[in-house]
């Protein structure tokens, strides 16, 4: 039932690092206790004993995954679909210590669910949650039990900005009631944005660069390559969040590959004419791809991995 020492050390090395990043992304204040392999191994044994006691006391029927988490299916949906890497997934969850203390929830303010790109390696939720999502289809609900190395790690965590005011003790196993609400590909996100904004698309390329000319110019040629341009712009996420206010107009030469611009922005500008205003919608493949952009404080993403973005531009 218990892991060999070699496997334990591998899990500690792999998953504790993920737990630390999860804590940063979801907004926790954490205090590292320091690591000692013999102590970690003992805590894993104690976690498994605590989890198995909880299962027995609750008369749960569970599946134990080889990666260390336990889950019980509450609602099954055989016709649902699984998420692919980079798709935006929406989950609802409530998280508890094994004594029943609620410590975390997706239901904050008016937000009833959590949305994040799936399985990017950046862990926007706890490692155990993302691993468990691999087993789930849309519409399904599970009770999930995770040991500390798939949860909050060997950290004491204090919640910030939530009404529970709970402290998560070091090495705590946790229970998570989780629902896989739905998922969207990048193309679906872009299409829904276009529909919601009632945009008239001027051009859409085979790789889904979308150009909406809001102030078209009917005469003259498009800019093309090797043109010195001056562009007024604002960069936004699809939800309207501004990630780049474009305080100063951007000056560069189009199509040279030497301007450090993301591919989709340069390509979109080349399709415009002097004096035109347009909305450029870029899928991540021609924007910031699987890495995204971390904010200046290095605490979260201003642009998440696999996230489509929008530029409102004017060719001056």
C-alpha to C-alpha distance for 178 and 200, rounded to whole angstroms? 38
Residues 82 and 190 placed together within one structural domain of the fold = no
**What is the CATH classification number for the domain harbouring 128?**
3.10.50.40
Do 105 and 116 fall into the same domain?
yes
Are residues 175 and 199 located together in one domain of the fold?
no
Token pair of 124 as six digits = 């926007």
Please give the distance of CA 219 from its chain centroid, rounded to a whole number.
Answer: 43
Examine the domain organization and report whether 193 and 99 are in the same domain.
Answer: no
The SS3 call for residue 66 is coil
Q: Are residues 228 and 259 in the same domain?
A: yes
Write the CB contacts of 185 (distance below 8 Å, at least 6 apart in sequence): 84, 87, 88
Last residue of a domain, one of 138, 158, 184: 184
Q: Given this model, what pLDDT does residue 34 score?
A: 53
Domain end, chosen from 184, 216, 245, is at 184
For residue 132, the model assigns a pLDDT of: 94
In angstroms, rounded to a whole number, what is the distance separating the alpha carbons of residues 34 and 40?
Answer: 10
Residues 172 and 295 placed together within one structural domain of the fold: no
Q: What is the pLDDT of residue 12?
A: 45
Q: Do 168 and 235 share a domain, yes or no? A: no
- pLDDT tens for the chain, residues 1 to 316: 333 333 444 444 444 444 444 444 444 444 545 556 788 889 999 999 999 999 999 999 999 999 999 999 999 999 999 999 889 999 999 999 999 998 888 875 444 566 777 766 666 778 899 899 999 999 999 999 999 989 888 766 655 445 456 778 889 999 999 999 999 999 999 999 999 999 999 999 999 999 999 999 999 999 999 999 999 999 999 999 999 999 999 999 999 877 789 999 999 999 999 999 999 999 999 999 998 998 887 777 899 999 999 999 999 9
Q: Which of 161, 184, 207 is the last residue of a domain?
A: 184
pLDDT digits (tens, 9 = 90+) for 113-149: 667 777 666 667 788 998 999 999 999 999 999 999 8
- Say if residue 176 is in the same domain as residue 243: no
Is this structure's pTM higher than 0.85?
Answer: no
Whether residues 28 and 150 share a domain: the answer is yes
29 and 143 part of one domain: yes
**One domain for residues 176 and 28:** yes
Q: How far is it, in rounded angstroms, from Cα 6 to Cα 2?
A: 12
Separation of alpha carbons 172 and 96, rounded Å: 10
User: Based on the domain organization, do 103 and 174 belong to the same domain?
Assistant: yes
Token code pair at residue 84: 């692919």
123 near 309, Cβ under 8 Å? no
The domain in which residue 101 lies consists of 5-184
Domain count, the chain: 2
């Amino acid at each position: 039932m218990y892991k060999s020492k070699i496997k334990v050390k591998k899990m500690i090395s792999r998953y504790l690092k993920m737990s630390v990043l999860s804590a940063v992304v979801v907004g926790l204040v954490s205090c590292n206790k320091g690591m000692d392999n013999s102590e970690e191994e003992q805590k894993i044994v104690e976690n498994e004993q605590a989890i198995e006691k909880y299962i027995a006391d609750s008369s749960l029927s569970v599946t134990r995954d080889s990666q260390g988490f336990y889950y019980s299916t509450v609602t099954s949906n055989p016709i649902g679909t699984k998420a692919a890497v980079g798709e935006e997934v929406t989950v609802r969850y409530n998280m508890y210590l094994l004594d029943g203390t609620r410590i975390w929830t997706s239901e904050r303010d008016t937000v009833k669910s959590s949305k994040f790109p799936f399985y990017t390696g950046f862990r926007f939720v706890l490692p155990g949650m993302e691993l468990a999502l691999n087993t789930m289809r849309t519409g399904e609900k599970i009770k999930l039990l995770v040991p500390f190395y798939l949860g909050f790690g060997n950290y004491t965590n204090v919640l910030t900005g939530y009404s529970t005011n709970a402290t998560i003790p070091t090495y705590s196993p946790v229970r998570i009631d989780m629902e896989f609400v739905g998922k969207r590909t990048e193309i679906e996100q872009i299409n829904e944005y276009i529909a919601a904004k009632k945009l008239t698309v001027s051009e859409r390329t085979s790789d889904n660069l979308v150009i909406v000319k809001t102030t078209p110019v009917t005469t003259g040629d498009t800019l093309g390559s090797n043109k010195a341009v001056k562009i007024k712009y604002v960069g936004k996420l699809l939800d309207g969040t501004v990630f780049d206010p474009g305080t100063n107009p951007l000056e560069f030469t189009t199509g040279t590959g030497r301007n450090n611009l993301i591919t989709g922005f340069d390509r979109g500008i080349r399709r415009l004419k002097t004096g035109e205003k347009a909305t450029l919608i870029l899928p991540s493949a021609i924007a910031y791809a699987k890495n995204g952009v971390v904010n200046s404080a290095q605490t979260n993403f201003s642009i998440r991995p696999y996230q489509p973005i929008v530029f409102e531009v004017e060719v001056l």
